[in-house]
Structure 1
Amino acid sequence: MHDIPKAAVETPSETPSLTQNPEGPVKSAGSSAVKGVIKGADMASTQIRRGTADYRRVNLALVAAGFSTFAILYCVQALLPIFSRDFGLSPGAASLALSATSATLAVALLGAGQISDMRGRKAMMALCLFSVGALTVLSAFAGTWGQLLAIRALEGLLLSGVPAVAMAYLAEEIHPSDLGGAMGLYIAGNAYGGMTGRVLASLIVDYMDSWRIALGIIGSLGVAAALAFTLLLPPSRHFVAIPRPPLSSLHHPFLRHFKDPGLRWLFLTSFLLMGSFVTVYNYASYRLVEPPFSLGAGPAGAIFLVYLFGGWASASFGRWASRFERGRMLITGVLLMLFGLLLTLSSSLWLTVAGITCVTIGFFGGHAVASGWVGQRAEIARAQAASLYLFNYYMGSSIIGSLGGWFYAGAGWTGLAILIGCLLLVALFVATRLARIEQVKPISTTRV
């Protein structure tokens, strides 16, 4: 998806903080039910509606937040060949600039939402955005590779304080009938932020031949976006802090999800699809700047523009999944990724670009199906199910993304394609298992 998974989009009302909604009190008996209905009506009457000035401010603020978050996260993907040159690194070692961030982000996402449930929304997001922007500027002055990696790892921890919290803010503050539009704009900011960060970084290094200038400029834009976010976003009106849950109870929902075979396969799917996708993009720049293509950094970075197909693929596969079954569409997405991977083995630039485009469409389509499936299949604690999906999503990016570098260094693009092809064959097997489970046990639609 876009860079924020659809699972998070489809389950905003399931975050722990949102238990302060009308559905909870209504389930009580007697006067409690009446009070719950009144409370829900009062809340709805004060939520932000489309067409108002506050609605526009919220959308602008969260588009800025999503743009900044994912531009900073993924800008280094276009800089990997420059890191290899300036620090004398192998492709696998250079890829740690992204993997270090995505790994700490994956782990931190498991707890970021719960911290926000206790501490609040806007202040936490603003602090994280300012901090990440400042750290990115600071990374431009890193003296060693180790220093740069340490800063990038810290950025991953702080980046976790934006995506899940932004979803919760929207679900609390935007009227339900207008929530879909607001969420869609936020996701668009995420996707285009990731694309622009990559393209902008590649253009800067093409003209100025300096990764330091690229990170400095992108970090400065991140600070500016944080300032815009802080000035624009209205304060929370419906946030209700919840007490810190006992540590002994935190693991129960996670264990429950792993008992469901369908969810286990879906978590594995997120790991395999995201890992394969990021690995293609990590080393596509290397392949395009080397013979037989020998493109400059700017033209090579333009490959990230095929991300524009991602939004169409996500929306289309999402619609088709309800018409043709999720399992079939997930299989289609994986097969399309495999077909695109085969095309990238060509020495023709146009066939290679077409192959990366197919990989992109297949990934976003398959990811949209799988992430939405998680939200539908989880019978309880859907926020925790979404966080497990996200955890595997970013761990796939981190682990497979770095592993691919060693294959590329040892056997070139062919070796990398063999690795990814094997992973996608496993994903195809998993997709067929999910298709069978879908036939045997229909997904649950019960809301908890």
Structure 2
Amino acid sequence: MSTVASSATLHARRINRGMLFGGFSIFALLYCVQPLMPLMAQQFTLSAAESSWVLSISTLTMAISLVLGGALSDRIGRKALMTASMVGGGACTLLCAFAQDFTQLLVLRALLGVALGGMPAVAMAYLGEEIAPQSLGVSMGMYIGGSALGGMSSRVLTSVVADVSSWRFALFGLGLAGLYAGWEFWRSLPDSRNFRPARPGLKALCDGARMHLRDEGLPWLFALGFLLMGVFVSLYNYISYRLLAAPFGLGQTAVGLLSVLYLTGMFSSVWAGRLADRMGRRKVLWMMMGLTMAGLALTLSGELIILVAGMALATFGFFASHSVASSWVGRRARAPQALASALYLFFYYLGSSLVGSLAGLAWGAAGWTGLVSLLLVTLGLGMLIALRLRRLAPLDAAPAFPNLSTSEAV
């Protein structure tokens, strides 16, 4: 019996290690350009809203790609598609370093989004199939914690390297790191044990999407992902413009170091997952979103230390909220689970593109006060959804996961 338990523990550790690399790579490659936007705006003569498309184009194509990627993985399997996604993302980032103009850069970043679309939704489905229900919150937290680590380190490193060399050299180095992460992911992640191929075809995809969209809770979780990610990306998209300008006047490296606050997200994603496993997702989600709103309000301060504290609180709350919401999708969705995860992340990254670009217009028209006002209203809508989810009735049929009671499935 102890040998079986030891084997199960080793299996879970390998999954968590692989997902840590997977989360790291996705966020690192996707968001490495965020602190470089002011530099690109200057080099290519762009406005803040225009330069934001170097990120928004990737999240937009990724939103579309991951729906197809989730459906494809239901046919060919999870691990192979996720590995190919990570390797393709690393290769596209390498090529971005050689882009001759902003149009070429946008094309390569669009291809990056297509490549990375094979990872996020499939990872959520893989965890839902391979991890015991009582441990799913922790494993999802590990994946999102890896995302936080990737987002933090890539922003810091690209800012430092851009200060001493160029943004091109920074992207080249990060592309190499992405290829290495893909190799580690392939080496660490066990092959699926519980995967069963689903029937392929457009009709199956449409039928599955229709079923998920008719669920009492899933569409609200999809909308929540849209709002959460839109707020968070907008916050980090434009904080560099504020801190580089008067009265702060910080340098590029100092602005990049603000991403160290992602460490709070690495902690909060795992912590909130465990807390939700004990207290329930309803209570934890509402509390964490309230912390995010409080953090946004603090960034209105003209005192640097208070502003940074607000960024930390907002980062903590966002990663905790996302960890709870995404694991809730994995717990509630029935087959095809990968498609449910893909739909959640479709809206999640669509929010990044649309709200992120809209926030750029708010920044240009009314400065930081206008931007934060827009984000508070956006997150206020998310709070209303979270309150509605607190009243969501348990599933009334057999859940998709073995040994999971209907009271736990919501």
Per the alignment, residue 98 of structure 2 pairs with: 141
Return closer, same or farther for 1:276/1:118 CA change in 2, 3 Å cut-off: same
How far apart are the structure 1 equivalents of 2:176 and 2:225? 32
Alignment of 1:51-66 (within 5 A): 51=10, 62-66=19-23
Alignment partner of 1:310 is 2:310: no
Q: Is the 8 Å Cα contact of residues 96 and 105 (structure 2) preserved in structure 1?
A: yes
1:213 to 169, 173, 178: 169
Alignment of 1:49-448 (within 5 A): 49-51=8-10, 62-166=19-123, 185-208=142-165, 210-230=166-186, 232-233=187-188, 236=191, 238=193, 242=197, 244-321=199-276, 326-378=281-333, 381-435=336-390, 437-438=391-392, 441-443=393-395, 446-448=398-400
Return closer, same or farther for 1:48/1:201 CA change in 2, 3 Å cut-off: farther
Query: How far is the alpha carbon of 1:119 from its aligned partner?
Result: 3.1
Mark the structure with the bigger radius of gyration.
Answer: 1
Q: Kindly provide the CA deviation profile for residues 278-304 of structure 1, in whole angstroms up to 9, marking residues without a partner as x.
A: 110111111111111111111111111
Question: SS of the residue aligned with 2:32?
Answer: helix
How far apart are the structure 2 equivalents of 1:120 and 1:267? 24
Q: Kindly provide the CA deviation profile for residues 326-368 of structure 1, in whole angstroms up to 9, marking residues without a partner as x.
A: 4443332232222211111111000100111111122122223
Query: How far is the alpha carbon of 1:233 from its aligned partner?
Result: 4.5
Q: Kindly provide the CA deviation profile for residues 383-424 of structure 1, in whole angstroms up to 9, marking residues without a partner as x.
A: 332222111111111111111111112211111111112112
The aligned amino acid for 2:368 is W
Per the alignment, residue 3 of structure 1 pairs with: none
Question: SS of the residue aligned with 1:250?
Answer: helix
Query: How far is the alpha carbon of 1:140 from its aligned partner?
Result: 1.0
Q: Kindly provide the CA deviation profile for residues 197-250 of structure 1, in whole angstroms up to 9, marking residues without a partner as x.
A: 111111111222x211111111122223334445x3578475877375232232
How far apart are the structure 2 equivalents of 1:349 and 1:363? 21
Q: Is the 8 Å Cα contact of residues 344 and 352 (structure 1) preserved in structure 2?
A: yes
How far apart are the structure 2 equivalents of 1:317 and 1:61? 21
Q: Is the 8 Å Cα contact of residues 102 and 395 (structure 1) preserved in structure 2?
A: yes
How far apart are the structure 2 equivalents of 1:120 and 1:429? 37
Q: Is the 8 Å Cα contact of residues 144 and 269 (structure 2) preserved in structure 1?
A: no
How far apart are the structure 2 equivalents of 1:368 and 1:154? 27
How far apart are the structure 1 equivalents of 2:30 and 2:16? 21
Query: How far is the alpha carbon of 1:426 from its aligned partner?
Result: 1.6
Query: How far is the alpha carbon of 1:141 from its aligned partner?
Result: 1.1
How far apart are the structure 1 equivalents of 2:19 and 2:274? 25
Return closer, same or farther for 1:284/1:320 CA change in 2, 3 Å cut-off: same
Q: Name structure 2 gaps, 5 residues minimum.
A: 401-410
Query: How far is the alpha carbon of 1:177 from its aligned partner?
Result: 9.8
Question: SS of the residue aligned with 2:33?
Answer: helix
How far apart are the structure 2 equivalents of 1:103 and 1:413? 25
Return closer, same or farther for 1:280/1:445 CA change in 2, 3 Å cut-off: farther
Per the alignment, residue 406 of structure 2 pairs with: none
How far apart are the structure 1 equivalents of 2:388 and 2:260? 33
Question: SS of the residue aligned with 1:353?
Answer: helix
Q: Is the 8 Å Cα contact of residues 198 and 336 (structure 2) preserved in structure 1?
A: no
Return closer, same or farther for 1:322/1:170 CA change in 2, 3 Å cut-off: closer
Q: Name structure 1 gaps, 5 residues minimum.
A: 1-43
- TM-score, L = length of structure 1: 0.79
The aligned amino acid for 2:398 is T
How far apart are the structure 2 equivalents of 1:256 and 1:342? 38
How far apart are the structure 1 equivalents of 2:376 and 2:149? 28
- TM-score, L = length of structure 2: 0.85
Question: SS of the residue aligned with 1:442?
Answer: coil
Aligned length: 398
Q: Kindly provide the CA deviation profile for residues 81-103 of structure 1, in whole angstroms up to 9, marking residues without a partner as x.
A: 11111111111111111111111
Q: Is the 8 Å Cα contact of residues 345 and 414 (structure 1) preserved in structure 2?
A: yes
How far apart are the structure 1 equivalents of 2:325 and 2:308? 26
CA RMSD of aligned residues (A): 3.2
The aligned amino acid for 1:161 is G
How far apart are the structure 2 equivalents of 1:152 and 1:101? 5
Q: Is the 8 Å Cα contact of residues 377 and 444 (structure 1) preserved in structure 2?
A: no
How far apart are the structure 2 equivalents of 1:150 and 1:124? 22
How far apart are the structure 2 equivalents of 1:118 and 1:216? 34
How far apart are the structure 2 equivalents of 1:185 and 1:405? 31
The aligned amino acid for 2:346 is F
Return closer, same or farther for 1:88/1:218 CA change in 2, 3 Å cut-off: same
Identity of aligned residues (%): 45
The aligned amino acid for 1:431 is A
Query: How far is the alpha carbon of 1:178 from its aligned partner?
Result: 8.9
Query: How far is the alpha carbon of 1:260 from its aligned partner?
Result: 3.2
How far apart are the structure 1 equivalents of 2:99 and 2:340? 37
Query: How far is the alpha carbon of 1:71 from its aligned partner?
Result: 1.0
